Structure 1
C-alpha cells in the first residue's frame, strides 16, 4: 500500500511538472505529508528512485527549448506565444517556458532533498542500495543546478523540504550555485556503479565524469575538461555509432551516456513541450534558413540528416524543413539524449585547442576528425588555433543540433552577441540569461527586486 501511495504521489508530481500546477519552492503541505508517510519501508525505495528519474525527465525537453530556441537554429512557424517570444527574441519575465523550466529544476532538487532527509534513517535498506540512490540523487541535483545557473544565473539554493524555509529564500550567486553543483557531482562518484546494467537510462560513474567534463569546459578549466572527457572516451563503455543516421533514428545508441526515455504509454505527445509536437507535429518552430545553409552542405556531411524536407509544407514563410530527431510515442527515436560520446570528443578537442594542443594523436584536430570521418565530411587540416576553434564551434553546431547546446555554447564562449545580432534585430545582451519567472517573484518575497537586468 505504501508503495502504491508513493507511486501516486510521484506520478502526481510528474503530471504537475508538465502542467505547471505546483510551486515546488513552496510545495503544498499534503505533498510533504505524503512523502513522510510513504518512505517508511525498503519497499518504497524503488518508487522514490523512479520519481527521481521522472523529475529529471521533465527537465529534458525544456533544456532543449532553452538551448536551441533561444539561439539561431529555428524560427517561429506556429501560434504558441511561448515559442514566438523565444524564437523572435522578445522574451518577457512571463515566458511560460522559463517558468516551467524553473519548476522542473526544483522538482529534482526537492526530491533529492527529500531523499537526503529520509533515506539515512530508513532501516532495512542495504548500504550499497542506499549509497547508490543517494549518489544518483546528488548527481541529478548537481546537474539541474548546473543547468539552472547557466540558464538563469543566480538562483535560490534550496537544501531542505521545509515549507516555511522554502517559501522565502533569495538568490545565491551563480558562482555559489555552481560550487554547490560541483560538490554534489563529485560526492556522487563514490556511490555510483562503474556501469549501468540496464543501459543509459540510469546514472553511473561515467555519467558523473561526462558532466564534470562539461562543467569544466563551461568554467574554462581546460586541463580538467580534457581529463574527464578522456576518462569517458577511454572507458570502453561507449562506442561511436558507425553512421550518424543512427543518432537521428534510434534510442539508446551505443554512444549514449545518459538519456531520458519515453514509451508508447507515457510519451507526452500532446504536451506543449513535447519535442515531437514542437518540431514535427505542429511544427511550431522550423529550422532557420541561416542554419540550413550551414547544415545542408558538404561541410557538415551526414549531419544534414538532423533535418528533413517535405515540399507539402513549403508555403509562405515556411521553408518546408522540419527537425527530424524526435519521433512520436511509437517511434524508436523519441528519447532525449543528455550526454553522448560525440560530445566528449568535442569537449576534449576544444580543451586541447585552448591549451595549444593542436596536432598529432593527442591534439584537437584528431578528435574533430573522428567525428568528421564518421559523418563522411572532409577532415580538418589547418593547424592554426583560431581556425581550429572556429571549426569546433561549427562541429558542435552540426553534431549537437537540437540537443540543447547552442545557446549555452554561444554564451560561454562570449560569442552570443556577435552571432545573435546578425540573426535577429531584436537580440540584446539581456538574453544571455533567461528571466527569473515573474510568477516565482510573486510567490517568493525574497526574489522581489532581484530580477535579471533588462527584464
Structure 2
C-alpha cells in the first residue's frame, strides 16, 4: 500500500466564494449541479469533488480546536483571530462562518451522491458500495465536528432547496445517533488499503469510531475500535516524532487531507502556515510552551521552533513548526485528521477508565509505546486518576496544533477551569461556538436559535 502518493490537482467543484447561505446553495455557485451525475463516467469526478469539499474543512477545524483553547496568543490584526485569541468571540466571526460553511459544503456534496447514485446504471457493485460508504463516512465526520463545535445544528439530509432554505436545529442527541449510523453503515464497504491515505478507508472509519465512542464515554467500544486499527498492521508509528512535523503522508497517517501548491491552505492569505509563520497572526502560548518544555522528552518540542530574532515585547519568539514551515519545502503542508499516535492515546484513555491501569493490555502499555518513540522514560501510575492525568498531559505533548485541545477540554469537563485561568475574558458560553450570524439572518428556521450567551 502506498501512503506517499501526493494528492492530484483537484478540479474545484464546490467553490462558494461568496457568503451565500450554505443550507440554500445557489446552483450558479455550487458547481456540482453543473456536473450532473447522469452516468457511470460522472462518478469519479463527483467523488473528487466530495474530497475537494472536505479539504475546505481542514484549516477551520484546526483553528477551532486550537485557537479557541489555550494553545495560542494573538499578536496580529485579523479580527476573527483576535476574537479567538482574546476570548471575545462574536457570531459575526469569519472563522466561525468558514467552518460552518465548509462542513455544510461537504454534507451537501455527500447528500448529492447519496441521492443520485442509486439511479445510475453501469456502476460495478463494489464501486457503488464504496462510493456510498465514502459519502456516508465523510458526512458523519462533518456532523461530528459540527455538533462538538456548535451543539445542536440543522440535520441536512437532502439537496432539496425548498427543504434546506428553512430548517431548524436538531438536538445534539439526534445528531450523535445520526453520526453513529453513518459511520457504522460505511465501515464494511470501504477498502482496507486505498490508493493513498488521502482517501477514506476501513481504518479511517475505525479510528473515527474510536474517537466517537471516546467522546461518548463508551469505553469498551472506544477500546475495541482503537484495537482494530492498531492490530490491522496497516499503519506504523514513525521512528522519530519530528517526522510528523516535517513530512506529509507518513506511515502513521490514517486519513490525511492532501494539498498541492495550488490549493495549499498554508500559503493562502488566512491559511495555517501564513497565520503561524508568514504573518505570525498567532504564536504558541506561554502556557503550552511550558507544557511542551516540561515533557519527559525533548522530541515533542519539535512541534515549535524558537527564533531569537523574533523575541521582543510580548512576542516569545516561538513559531508553530507544522504546516509548511520547513525552509524551501512544502512537504508538511497537509492536515492529518486521524493518525496512529492518537489511536494509541484513545485506547490508553479507554482502558484507564475501565480500570486497566498496569500490565499487559493496559493504559500504561499504550502510553509507553508513545513514550518509547519520544525517547522518554516509561510512565507509571498507581491509580486510575494518576493514569488519566498522565494521558491527558501526553495528549498535549503528542497532539499539539492538530486541533484537539478545545475538544479535549470540553469532553473531559475541564474547559471552564482551564480557560478561566488562561484568559480573564473567558465565559462559559464559549464552550460552544455561536451559530454564524449570517446563517441566522438567512435561514428562518434558525431565528431565535442562537447558542446561549451570544
> Which has the larger displacement, 273-282 or 326-335?
326-335
Partner of 1:92: 90
Query: SS of the residue aligned with 2:450?
Result: coil
Structure 2 residue 243 is the aligned partner of structure 1 residue 242: no
Select 2:102's aligned residue among 89, 101, 104.
104
Query: SS of the residue aligned with 1:338?
Result: strand
Partner of 1:452: 451
Q: Cα offset for 1:10?
A: 6.1
Structure 1 residues 290 and 300: CA distance shift in structure 2, 3 A = farther
Query: SS of the residue aligned with 2:197?
Result: helix
Superposed, 1:23-172 pairs within 5 Å as: 23-30=21-28, 35=33, 38-172=36-170
Partner of 2:431: 432
Structure 2 residue 354 is the aligned partner of structure 1 residue 355: yes
Partner of 1:191: 189
Superposed, 1:353-432 pairs within 5 Å as: 353-432=352-431
Q: Is the 8 A contact 2:358 2:365 kept in 1?
A: yes
Partner of 1:228: 225
Partner of 1:340: 339
Q: Cα offset for 1:192?
A: 0.8
Query: Could you tell me the TM-score, scaled by structure 1's length?
Result: 0.95
Q: Is the 8 A contact 1:369 1:380 kept in 2?
A: yes
Measure, in 1, the Cα distance between the counterparts of 2:10 and 2:78: 30
Q: Cα offset for 1:299?
A: 2.2
Q: Is the 8 A contact 2:210 2:222 kept in 1?
A: yes
Q: Is the 8 A contact 2:106 2:138 kept in 1?
A: yes
Select 2:291's aligned residue among 281, 284, 294.
294
Select 1:271's aligned residue among 268, 273, 283.
268
Q: Cα offset for 1:199?
A: 2.1
Structure 1 residues 9 and 74: CA distance shift in structure 2, 3 A = closer
Please, which runs of 5 or more residues in structure 1 have no aligned partner? Answer: 1-7
Partner of 1:255: 252
Query: SS of the residue aligned with 1:431?
Result: helix
Partner of 1:5: none
Structure 1 residues 356 and 9: CA distance shift in structure 2, 3 A = closer
> Which has the larger displacement, 429-438 or 370-379?
370-379
Q: Is the 8 A contact 2:152 2:169 kept in 1?
A: yes
Q: Cα offset for 1:36?
A: 6.5
Deviations 1:362-400 (A, max 9, x none): 110111111111111221122221111111111001100
Measure, in 1, the Cα distance between the counterparts of 2:82 and 2:306: 22
Partner of 1:303: 300
Partner of 2:180: 182
Partner of 1:4: none
Measure, in 2, the Cα distance between the counterparts of 1:117 and 1:333: 36
Over the residues paired in the alignment, what is the CA RMSD in angstroms? 1.7
Measure, in 1, the Cα distance between the counterparts of 2:19 and 2:31: 18
Q: Is the 8 A contact 1:238 1:254 kept in 2?
A: yes
Measure, in 2, the Cα distance between the counterparts of 1:296 and 1:67: 21
Structure 1 residues 20 and 420: CA distance shift in structure 2, 3 A = farther
Q: Is the 8 A contact 2:166 2:445 kept in 1?
A: yes
Partner of 2:14: 13
Measure, in 2, the Cα distance between the counterparts of 1:355 and 1:299: 26
> Which has the larger displacement, 37-46 or 53-62?
37-46
Measure, in 1, the Cα distance between the counterparts of 2:335 and 2:191: 22
Q: Is the 8 A contact 1:62 1:101 kept in 2?
A: yes
Measure, in 1, the Cα distance between the counterparts of 2:381 and 2:46: 52
Q: Is the 8 A contact 2:13 2:52 kept in 1?
A: no
Q: Cα offset for 1:129?
A: 1.1
Measure, in 2, the Cα distance between the counterparts of 1:300 and 1:73: 20
Q: Which has the higher helix share?
A: 1
Q: Is the 8 A contact 1:52 1:108 kept in 2?
A: yes
Q: Is the 8 A contact 2:240 2:374 kept in 1?
A: yes
Q: Cα offset for 1:178?
A: 1.1
Q: Is the 8 A contact 1:360 1:366 kept in 2?
A: yes
Measure, in 2, the Cα distance between the counterparts of 1:102 and 1:55: 12
Structure 1 residues 269 and 341: CA distance shift in structure 2, 3 A = closer
Please, which runs of 5 or more residues in structure 2 have no aligned partner? Answer: 1-8
Q: Is the 8 A contact 2:295 2:397 kept in 1?
A: no
